[in-house]
Amino acid sequence: MFRKKVALWLFPILIGFGLGVFLFSSNVQAGTSANGKFTISPKVNNTDNLIAATNTEWVFSVTTTADLAAGGPPTDIIRFILPTTTAGIVPFNISSPSSTSLTGISLAYGPGQPGVSSTILSDGRPAFYGFIGSAYASNTVFSISLRGVNNASGTLESLTNLVWEVEAGTSNGGDPAAPLSVVKFTITSTAALASAGGGGGGPSATSSISNVVLTDVDTTGFGLDGRDFMVTWNPGTSTPAGYQYTKIYIVTSTINLTTSNLSTACAGMSCMQFGMFNQYSIATNTLPQFVKTDSAYAPLSTTTQYVAWIYVQATTPFIVSSSPATVVYDNVADVNKPQIDHIGVHTAKEQALAVINSFIVDDQTFADQFNAPAGVEYFKLYYGTDVSVSESFVSAVKVTDAGLFSFSIPTSSVPAAGGTLEYYLAANDVAD
């Protein structure tokens, strides 16, 4: 017969949870290159950048990064290259090319033909081009508005982060489509297309979610964990067309999430979601206590700024973010005793190692501390033929981070068949 010297209370473990984290990201209407030398933008926002719009106009603002020469042969040329698209997307193309505005530089597409024309490059990309009319030094600033672009068609998610390019150099025998014989500079920038909105079109490309806020309102839960991350937002009054679900992610402010990079943006892997809702009206969520890492699998830190992202899957998916916020490690008085969750063992094999398992939970002493005590904390199993007379103990060995531990009573202490052995469990936390 086994007996226990201490009463053990059962504390069920909460296994499942549902979180919601919402991503913030409005559609990028203009983009600037990393070196600041090239900005691409629609002439009229929400008109010239709409998916599948025809005869649109885009403004290329460029600072040259090399000297360009006029005359020739050979002749220097500038090419304004439209984005490529993935399979299944109707690509960009150009019809009736023209430049409605050109400042800071002169271009011509042929003798006595000022302005630009278009071509299909040898690699299949559509491009506007113009030959240099005068010599220009590096760092010349110019702007050109190019009309006749027929935007690509497809889903909004597939038409984000589109790469636009400006390439300049010496033409190959005056052929505007051939690879340049000398490349003098290439600059890229990104800009997305937007979905048509309003009464006559499809769902709006603009998120109906607003005021996404990440705050740490926890002051009573010890340490740093999911309880320190509360996300609130305003979902608006209308559910997006084709709405399916909402997901929440928490990442550092150095990671920029988009609708198209959630499978790779977090340490090269899929970002870890902290929940998924199928009710669009939900407007608040606090992460559970057991969350110890962010969506990129990095341990939570008080020295890091975090951003909450809310992703909405709908006919037109979108992602929205909060402003960066910091969280606080909470130091509170330790007034709670460790909680031992154990079902008594009543049989064992004679003269063999007796293995007994138990869970333990404490609000301020973690599993690793019970596993390798550095102070007054411990988790032990005391055993003996009659523990009121004599007892020995074995310390706990961690099985899982969730607080499952194992105790092994030595074979030499397990009696032969018909004998008896008593045991009980005892624990102490770091606060003694």
pLDDT for 11 beyond 60: no
d(CA 186, CA 34): 12
**pLDDT band at residue 196 using 50, 70 and 90 as cut-offs:** low
pLDDT for 202 beyond 50: no
**pLDDT band at residue 87 using 50, 70 and 90 as cut-offs:** low
pLDDT for 331 beyond 70: yes
Q: Judging by beta carbons within 10 Å of its beta carbon (0-12, 13-18, 19+), is residue 34 exposed, middle or buried?
A: exposed
Ranges 346-355, 383-392, 403-412, 421-430: which has the least confidence: 346-355
d(CA 215, CA 227): 10
pLDDT for 136 beyond 60: yes
Tokens of 144: 């050109």
For residue range 342-366, list pLDDT tens digits in order.
Answer: 888 888 888 788 898 999 988 788 8
Tokens of 275: 């929940």
pLDDT for 421 beyond 80: yes
For residue range 18-69, list pLDDT tens digits in order.
Answer: 222 222 223 334 555 567 789 888 888 778 888 888 899 999 999 999 999 8
The residue that leads in pLDDT, 134 or 128, is 128
> Residue 273's closest CA among 23, 13, 16, 15?
23
Convert 285-328 into a string of H (helix), E (strand) and C (coil): EECCCCCCECCCCCECCCCCCEEEEEEEECCCCEEEECCCECCC
pLDDT-above-70 percentage for the chain: 87
The residue that leads in pLDDT, 198 or 232, is 232
- As a whole number, mean pLDDT of residues 387-398 equals 92
First-residue to last-residue Cα distance in the chain: 31
Q: Distance of CA 173 to CAs 81, 186, 194, 234, 249, Å?
A: 20, 20, 39, 59, 53
Predicted pLDDT of residue 19: 28
Predicted pLDDT of residue 31: 56
Mean pLDDT of the residues in the chain: 82
**pLDDT band at residue 111 using 50, 70 and 90 as cut-offs:** confident
